[in-house]
Amino acid sequence: MQIQIAKRHHGELAPEQQQYIHDKAEKLLKYFGRIMSIEIAVDHVKNAWDIEILVSAEHKHDFVARELGPTPIAAMDQCVHKIEEQLRRYKEKVQNHKGDTHGGLHAKS
């Protein structure tokens, strides 16, 4: 899995902030193991940090979340929470679909 962190226009991340963001992104694998790549865009706008996460999973499924926060850490935490929810719902949908045969109808023998 590839994790890419890009800084837009303004704002510099301290090395420990960048590491925190990378570590949080890596933990998304525990919610859905078929993640191919994660792209994180970080921007400092006025008095807030804008973070956008794009998670690309198998079979061309993309998950996107965007958050503003007073610090990059706060914005990342909120953004990751949104992505976790999306991944959890998608995983449940996939797992429920696999167990369902012919719309829930079973042939009689």
Q: Give the CATH number, domain containing residue 11.
A: 3.30.160.100
Q: Is residue 107 part of a domain?
A: no
pLDDT means per 10 residues, the chain with 109 residues, are 86 89 92 90 92 91 95 96 93 75 53
The amino acid sitting at 41 is A
Question: 30 lies in which domain range?
Answer: 2-99
- Say if CB 77 and CB 24 are below 8 A apart: yes
- Tally of domains within the chain: 1
Q: Is residue 105 part of a domain?
A: no
Q: Is residue 106 part of a domain?
A: no
Q: What is the pLDDT of residue 9?
A: 77
